């Protein structure tokens, strides 16, 4: 551990440490899990605070008529690796004392992670259910969960005798920890609000994750006060922190002395998006990275480093074969190892346009009917997102329409994520720019020599050398604002523009290179690996966090 380095307490709603440890839903959790593992690899003085989700995240159930619905396991999941710290904390929620037990997890080569759990005898009725489902509730339920994470988390640190120098709010769910830090100073040290705020700001850093409006939570003050999230603060003070209605992201930016976004393009987008928040911390860009021990396959990465074409292809085919076997077992569909396999796994959110490639059957039909292009999809919709579920329904319909070349794997999780990002030939991403904040699955793919074919959004503009280490969908990328008309018209034109570019690159570059120029393809795999293995590792990312936000030279 470097001398003089600050001790960091990292707060996050979800952690993806291991596929079957279901306290994560997707990108945010996987990033947090990678952060924790890398902190351990680098021997950093960092602990994590999270929640032990009783029923995890929703499972995907399909029924006739296609629309998937959510299901949750009935039983509390049993994890034998949880260590009992013996510590319990209480948080006053809806004027009731809610108790949370604190567990510790060190099982996955991660820095110490403390998880709060309200599923206890002493909590009655609704209170024991607070930590039931990740993102499974809204309003009261969500706020109660966030209060346990935030307020309970700070109190857990105190009881565990962990003295943090830096409180890192990873996304806005933990911002009530800032209110708790204020309460300590105002109540215990008799400070005035403004002075206490200044002191709190010296210790807080904040990461903003999503340029999508719905991803940025807002709550009514009435509800926050009723829940007890105000603690001892009054409405003027809470409005000063988070505006009215209360914006969780604005609050994070005001509590923090330093803030960051998760890619360079996102730095620009985030600074524009939050420009109106007075007193906000400056937002610097720290591009996400992935934990190589978790996400890369030694067999292919060493072959790519050696550079022998035959060896690379044989390893790649072997790993691709394992994915194809997995798909056969799960879905009963036998894909062809010698045909192009394109992967697409992401949360089914409208801006991600998972089904874009199917938009014009006149163009794409022949490729899918012949199997010249094979597609494998995975991804859940947010439990409350009906449009997202319609997208999944459409993907299932496409899998029926092209039964030999299109598959949808249900219950996207870390296991499927790992199999896909090493076993496909191509990793496809076609979000509406600039809505993709970062997109770490593409980094996993790139390191394993799986070539990215992506809109220049999120992390990809920082890595893409078009035609050399992957491909851009449209080398002159556009946003809806580049088109004329009302909102719907502009979106429609953008979708048309991106679709044209998608077909162009897929059919005129990707397919011919794959089938007719394998040497070039393998060269591109090597370039893809070389350009990303260091640069988009969590190793590099964590060093950036220490340099730019945990102990930076400049702050607010
Ligand atoms: C890597 C990963 C993600 C994040 O990938 P994005 O590119 O941001 O969508 C989400 N879910 C799982 C299971 C992953 O492994």
Q: Ligand 1 pocket test: which of 21, 26, 212, 455 has the largest number of ligand atoms within 8 Å of its C-beta?
A: 26
pLDDT score at 138: 81
* pLDDT averaged per 10 residues, the chain (length 556): 83 97 95 98 98 85 64 73 98 97 98 97 89 88 97 98 98 98 94 97 96 85 97 96 97 97 93 93 96 98 98 98 98 97 93 96 97 96 84 93 96 96 98 93 98 97 98 96 96 97 98 98 98 98 97 82
Distance CA 220, CA 231 (A): 15
Give the nearest ligand 1 atom to 417 CA.
15
Peptide bond into 245 cis (omega under 30): yes
C-beta of residue 50 within 8 angstroms of C-beta of residue 15: yes
Which residue CA neighbors atom 5 of ligand 1 most closely?
441
Q: Give me ligand 1 centre to Cα 136, in Å.
A: 19
Which residue CA neighbors atom 4 of ligand 1 most closely?
27
Radius of gyration of the chain (CA): 24
Q: Give me ligand 1 centre to Cα 347, in Å.
A: 8
Q: Give me ligand 1 centre to Cα 504, in Å.
A: 26
pLDDT score at 212: 79
CA distances to 132, 150, 301 from 75, rounded to whole Å, are: 11, 26, 40
Phi, psi of 365 (to 5 degrees): -45, -50
pLDDT score at 55: 85
Which residue CA neighbors atom 11 of ligand 1 most closely?
26
The DSSP 8-state label assigned to residue 126 in this structure reads: G
Residues of the chain by 3-state class (helix, strand, coil), percent to 5:
45, 15, 40
Give the dihedral sign, CA 506/395/347/40: negative
Q: Report the relative pairing of strands 166-170 and 113-117 from DSSP bridges.
A: unpaired
Run of H or E including 285: strand 283-285
Phi, psi of 71 (to 5 degrees): -140, 155
Q: Give me ligand 1 centre to Cα 228, in Å.
A: 34
pLDDT score at 63: 64
Which residue CA neighbors atom 6 of ligand 1 most closely?
439
Give the nearest ligand 1 atom to 443 CA.
7
Ordered structural domains, the chain, with CATH: 8-290+540-550 (3.40.50.2000), 293-536 (3.40.50.2000)
Q: Residues with Cβ within 6 A of ligand 1?
A: 26-27, 30, 346, 412-414, 417, 439-442, 444
Q: Ligand 1 pocket test: which of 440, 443, 450 has the largest number of ligand atoms within 8 Å of its C-beta?
A: 440
pLDDT score at 74: 62
Closest to 55 measured CA to CA, from 28, 31, 86, 79: 79
Distance CA 12, CA 4 (A): 25
Q: What is the pTM of this model?
A: 0.96
pLDDT score at 387: 87
Q: Give me ligand 1 centre to Cα 378, in Å.
A: 10
Q: Give me ligand 1 centre to Cα 22, in Å.
A: 14
pLDDT score at 3: 61
Distance of CA 406 to the CA centre of its chain: 25
Q: Report the relative pairing of strands 283-285 and 258-261 from DSSP bridges.
A: parallel
pLDDT score at 44: 98
Peptide bond into 434 cis (omega under 30): yes
């Amino acid at each position: 551990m470097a001398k003089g380095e600050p001790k960091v307490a990292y707060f996050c709603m979800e952690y993806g440490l291991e596929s079957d440890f279901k306290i994560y839903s997707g990108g945010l959790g996987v990033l947090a899990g990678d952060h924790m593992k890398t902190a351990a690899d680098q021997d950093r003085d960092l602990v994590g605070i999270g929640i032990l989700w009783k029923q995890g995240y929703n499972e995907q159930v399909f029924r006739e008529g296609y629309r998937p619905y959510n299901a949750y396991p009935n039983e509390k999941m049993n994890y034998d690796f949880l260590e009992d710290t013996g510590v319990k904390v209480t948080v006053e929620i809806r004027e009731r004392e809610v108790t949370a037990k604190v567990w510790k997890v060190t099982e996955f080569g991660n820095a110490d992670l403390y998880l709060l759990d309200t599923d206890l005898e002493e909590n009655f009725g609704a209170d024991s259910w607070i930590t039931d489902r990740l993102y499974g509730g809204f309003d009261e339920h969500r706020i109660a969960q966030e209060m346990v994470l935030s307020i309970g988390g700070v109190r857990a640190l105190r009881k565990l005798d962990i003295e943090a120098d830096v409180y890192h709010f990873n996304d806005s769910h933990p911002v009530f920890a800032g209110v708790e830090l204020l309460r300590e100073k105002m109540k215990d040290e008799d400070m005035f609000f403004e002075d206490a705020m200044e002191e709190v700001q010296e210790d807080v850093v904040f990461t903003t994750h999503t340029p999508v409006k719905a991803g940025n939570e807002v709550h009514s003050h009435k509800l926050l006060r009723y829940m007890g999230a105000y603690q001892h603060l009054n409405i003027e003070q809470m409005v000063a922190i988070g505006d009215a209605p209360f914006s969780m992201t604005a609050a994070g930016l005001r509590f923090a002395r330093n803030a960051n976004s998760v890619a360079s393009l996102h730095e620009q987008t985030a600074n524009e998006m939050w420009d109106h928040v007075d007193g906000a911390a400056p937002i610097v860009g720290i591009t996400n990275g992935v934990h190589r021990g978790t996400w890369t396959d030694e067999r292919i990465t060493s072959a790519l480093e050696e550079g022998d074409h035959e060896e690379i292809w044989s390893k790649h085919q072997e790993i691709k074969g394992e994915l194809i076997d997995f798909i056969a077992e799960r879905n009963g569909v036998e894909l062809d190892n010698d045909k192009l396999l394109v992967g697409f796994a992401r949360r089914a959110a409208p801006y991600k346009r998972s089904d874009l490639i199917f938009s014009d059957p006149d163009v794409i039909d022949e490729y899918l009917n012949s199997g010249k292009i094979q597609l494998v999809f995975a991804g859940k919709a947010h439990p409350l997102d009906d449009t997202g579920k319609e997208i999944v329904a459409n993907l299932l319909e496409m899998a029926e329409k092209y039964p030999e070349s299109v598959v949808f794997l249900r219950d996207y999780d870390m296991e499927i994520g790992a199999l896909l990002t090493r076993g496909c030939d191509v990793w496809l991403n076609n979000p509406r720019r600039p809505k993709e904040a970062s997109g770490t699955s593409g980094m996993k793919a790139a390191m394993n020599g799986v070539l990215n074919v992506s809109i220049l959004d999120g992390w990809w503009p920082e890595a893409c050398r078009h035609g050399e280490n992957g491909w851009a969908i449209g080398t002159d990328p556009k946003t809806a604002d580049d088109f004329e008309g009302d909102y719907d018209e502009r979106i429609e034109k953008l979708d048309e523009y991106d679709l044209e570019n998608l077909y162009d690159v897929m059919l005129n570059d990707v397919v011919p290179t794959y089938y007719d120029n394998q040497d070039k393809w393998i060269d591109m795999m090597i370039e893809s690996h070389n350009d990303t293995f260091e640069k988009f590792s969590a190793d590099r990312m964590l060093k950036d966090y220490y340099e730019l936000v945990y102990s930076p030279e400049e702050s607010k």
